[in-house]
Each structure stands twice: as C-alpha cells, then as structure tokens.
Structure 1
C-alpha cells in the first residue's frame, strides 16, 4: 500500500496543486497563488476536489486531506493535533501560513533577486508574515485580535461594523458572485457547476495574491531601503541636536516609524534618550518646505512622546512667526491643532522650531 501511495504521488510535469472544492476561503486562495509565484509551480494545474483518489495524484495539496507533511508536500491544518505556528509567534497557521512558512523565503528571494540566505530576505520574510499573512491565519482559525471577554468587561464596543471590507470577506463574497459580471465567458453553468466555482476561486486567488504582491513590493522597494536611511540618521543624531533626540531625514516619503522603534530597541535606549521629533523635507524638489513631526509612544499609539508646544497648536503663518520669536526665521507654515506635526518654509526654520520644542 505504501508503495502504491508513493507511486501515485510521483511528481508530474507540469505539477498539479490540489485543494478542496466547495466554499473557498482566503487562506487557500492565497496559498495557491503563492505557490504559483515560484518557477516550479508557475504552470501548475489546479484540481479542486475532496476526492482522496484525485488528491493522491497531486504533487502538492493545500487546505484539505488532513495531513501536514513537508516530505510529501501536504499542507493541511484542520487535523485535531495541528498546532504549528510561525517562528516566534503564537497564531496557529492556516494553509496560507503553512505555504508561506515553507516557501516564503524562496518567493521573496525570487522577487528581490537576492540570495536565499541574504539577511534582507529574512527581514522581509518576517515583515510580510507580521503585516499580512498572520491576519489571514488568524481569520481562518477564528482567532480574534483581542480577547473579547476582556473587551466586554471593559465596556468596549465597536462603533460600527467593519467586517464586510476585509480581504477574507471579499473572498467570501466571490463564493456568491455572478461570474458573468466579473468578465467570465458565457457558459452553461448548470452543465458546468465546477467550472463556474473554479472560476470564482481564480478571482479570489488573484485578489489575495495581488494584495500580497503589493505588500511585498512595497516592503522590498520602500520599507527595506528606508531602514538604512533611518539608521544613518539615528547614528548621526547628536550632530542634529545636542540632546540626541532629533532625527533628520534627508528626503521626503521615507517610512521611518517602524524602523525607528526597532533601531531604538536594538540600541537599548531608555525613555529619556529616545527620539522626540523627526524633521524631513515635504517634497523631493529643491527648495521644498520642511515638516517637523512628533514620535508617538509606540507604533499604534496616537499619544506623542512630546507634542509640539501648546501655544503653537492650531496657529499658522505670520501669527506663528510671532509666537516663535526672533530665534526662528520668518516662514512658519502651521502647527496642527493636536500638536503632532508642523511645518516651515525652510530647513533652517524647522530645525529652529525643533530646538525650541526640545527646550520647552
């Protein structure tokens, strides 16, 4: 019997990916898309079935079959004994997380054209799991971001319903969508119900996969290069201001927040040493206005480590120039009413605003 099973699982060319038919979900839709990003799966056929004899003919099976076995390319998570999580995480994996855990680095290496063992590949691998895949795993396994019982005890209730605009909810909608409205070819759906369902699944897979690729592309082309820029600015912060609590970024549009928190943690800074303000040009062109922005207490917080001085808040232009005084050249633009951001027409002006705010 074992020999027969092994014979049935002989790798086919092109490979065949198997997943279940019927109602589909975001996790297997993403899992199939991610596999097809790899050259060895690029032309893989897809069989959607629960028939064990058909699944046995597949090279790789995701989200069905009751088996997690890397050696035979089986990636299901529904068995009672399954409790695997991504390294250093607690969320149980779905089929998307399983495929990502085993193939994610290869996908990233191919996308970035970096060697598989390059440290940047590992950084992106962890970033994409945290920012995208883990939420898919949690959704499919019914894991809430918060402990609902504690929220109830605290009297915290949602102000509005937002579940209908998540990616998994949009995938769920495709289970019931009219394929003709999505550009599907006209066909006799009564005679070909599985073809119709498979078409809808292909739409769901593209939806999830394109979102994943956008996240990967953004992380590789913007987030990752920004780390070097932020680290350089962090290392020279004492030259920006004697306190070492002002960060100067050389250009606009740098995603700095997450990197700053990580770099501060790596450096072991205590609270009274951490960066309070970040300044940067508003646009790329010469002569751009400059911004000063406060650093929030953590990545998801709206509370600032040190807001801009209260008398400046909600004030603009000449009136703000008067408040700033002779130590700041004219050209102030604004300070937001909440005190989290402000602007000046020149770099020298915004540096002077930062110096006054740090001294306040």
Structure 2
C-alpha cells in the first residue's frame, strides 16, 4: 500500500520546470511565468541550476541546457545552430519567445474563453508577440530596433538615455536585494527571481487583458465606423465612434491598408479626423482628434487650423464666427471648448459642433 501511494504521488506530481541559476534576465523570468499560466504547470516547482544531471530530471527546461526540442520540452536558444524565429518575423527567439510560440495560443484561448483555433485567438497571438514578446527576444539576443550602422551613417544621436526605463532593464535591477523590502522578506537569489518573474508576468497579463477585452472588441467598432465613413461626410475623411476610450489607431491603419489591397493606403483615401464623446454621460462633450501620420507619431495627417490652436471657449467661438463671416462658410454652432496648441485635438460641447469643426478643418 505504501509503495502504491508513493508511485501515485510521483505520477500526479506537477511537472518540474528548470532554468539556470545566477544572474537572471527578462526572457526566462517571463518564460517561467507563461508556463505557470497553464493548468499543467500552475503548481510546478522551479529548479534553478546549471547542473546537467539535475536539469535532466526536470520535465521542462528553459534558457539553459543547449537544446531546443519541443518534443522533449527543452527550450534553450543559446546554441550556435539556433536560428528559430516566430512565424512571419525575423527576430531570433529567446526562451520567452520559444515558450510563447509553443504555448501562447493555449494561454490566450484559456484567458479569453475561446477555442484554440478561433480567429480571434490567432489575432491576439500575433498581436501579443508583435507588441510585447518580440522586444524581449530582441533585447536578450542583442538586436537593436534600428540598424546601428544606418543610425551612425545618418549621424543620428539619442536625445536622452532610455535604457533605465526599459522593461528588461527593470527586471535586471531585480537581481539585487530590494532596499524597500519588509524586514524578514527573503532576499536570496531564488526569491529575487520569483519576484522578477511575477513582475514581468503581470505586465504580460495586463497586455493580454487589454488586447483581449479592449483592443479586440474595438476592431468591430472601428470597422463599422470606417466602412460607413462616407455617410458621415462624402469625403470619407471623418469617422465617428459611438464612445470614447476606444483604441482606434491600429485598427484604422489596418482597415485602410486592407482597403488598398494590403499595400500602403492611398493618401487620397486616408481618414483625417476621428470624433467621439468624452464619456458615456448624456450630454457629454465631443472630441475631434486628428489621425497621426503613423501610430507612434506626434505629427497629424491634417492638424486643426493654426488660427484655432491654443484658443478656448468663447474666444474660440469668436474666432470660428469671424472666419465664417469672412469666408462665407456655414457658421459653427456655439459651444467650442478648445483646440490644443499643436492642433492634434479639439473639442465641442455637441456632436454636431464637433463634426462641423472637422468639416471646416477639411476645407482649410
């Protein structure tokens, strides 16, 4: 009976995860966390060692061992022969990317309660890699965002240091004892790794939460607004969203690209302005936001007129009224709220007024 109990315990024990000890990095810290998001590994113990004999006893090994063999649950990327990349990407994978490539669909499907082969799971799988995991892979493999030779040839220099605020750098700092830790809180190497793994893992979960429950539903909302844009204005340059807080930029660029057959959108068909209410409250003010030339740019495709910028309330109403009288264009309903000094966004107390501001701006 005793032997049967021991055998049963060994058979049902959670699979042991192995990684290296010593100085840790963001990639294996995230890889371990990702595995533990799955039911199979949710209570898995972690062994940190470089001893091959000990690693051989582990069910799954990441970032150490010199072997990549998913059939054997070995996920190292340090061997000279390793060249694996995520589908349709060029960045060589780290242990984080390897674990994500093999287990990411299951993690996402579980999180959003959809079948593994669902189209939305595929969209999120690609997005999470592109927006988050790939940068960790690149950092761990020493791959720069831009070609250093091209940067040097162009004579470009950084305006300030940004390494200290990068996620991989923050994880690296966690190798050292935390001076803010509570008295008696463990500061040994494994405890520091556990905190680092939890830290970067929670960032991943926030990204997944936003992508699954904000970004993904927004695709439907933005798509409807984009495909009905000529009903808003014959030019097709203005879209109206039914609520604020919708992450619209990436979706808009994608719909524009799709409309151009996958190529860069024709400038003649680009959207210039996005309108939305500030809140769900009845009678909410409305915003007119200019579409940037690219997702991360501060430059607008067509900023609001220079004469409006930095002007507010009654003064802005006066400027709009004077321009209408001078040009003979239709008057804009009173209730203008503001236009930012850079011209990238403005506001009006009403939807009708915000639309009129966008239409007038198109004509400038």
TM-score (norm 1): 0.92
TM-superposition CA deviations, 1:18-37 (whole Å, max 9, x none): 00011111000000000000
Distance 2:49 2:274 in 1: 54
Distance 2:311 2:151 in 1: 38
- 1:218-257 to 2 correspondence within 5 Å? 218-257=210-249
Shift in alpha-carbon separation, 1:242–1:11, aligned structure 2, 3 A: farther
SS in 1 for 2:251: helix
The answer to whether 1:266 aligns with 2:277 is no
SS in 2 for 1:182: coil
TM-superposition CA deviations, 1:201-220 (whole Å, max 9, x none): 10110011000001000111
Q: Which runs of 5+ in 1 are unaligned?
A: 1-9, 190-195
Match of residue 339, structure 1, among 322, 338, 343: 343
TM-superposition CA deviations, 1:133-158 (whole Å, max 9, x none): 01110110011111222222222212
User: What is the Cα deviation at residue 197 of structure 1?
Assistant: 0.9
SS in 2 for 1:61: strand
Distance 2:166 2:96 in 1: 16
1:315 alignment counterpart: 311
Distance 2:249 2:24 in 1: 36
Taking only aligned residues, the RMSD between alpha carbons, in angstroms, comes to 1.6
The answer to whether 1:60 aligns with 2:56 is no
Q: Which runs of 5+ in 2 are unaligned?
A: 1-9, 322-329
Deviates more, 1:230-239 or 1:303-312: 303-312
Distance 2:279 2:130 in 1: 30
SS in 2 for 1:83: coil
Q: Is the 8 A contact 1:11 1:59 kept in 2?
A: no
Match of residue 354, structure 2, among 334, 350, 356: 350
Q: Is the 8 A contact 1:12 1:59 kept in 2?
A: no
Alignment coverage as a number of residue pairs = 343
TM-superposition CA deviations, 1:141-187 (whole Å, max 9, x none): 01111122222222221222221122211211121124x84348467
1:99 alignment counterpart: 99
User: What is the Cα deviation at residue 244 of structure 1?
Assistant: 1.0
Q: Is the 8 A contact 1:296 1:302 kept in 2?
A: yes
User: What is the Cα deviation at residue 12 of structure 1?
Assistant: 6.7
- 1:30-49 to 2 correspondence within 5 Å? 30-49=30-49
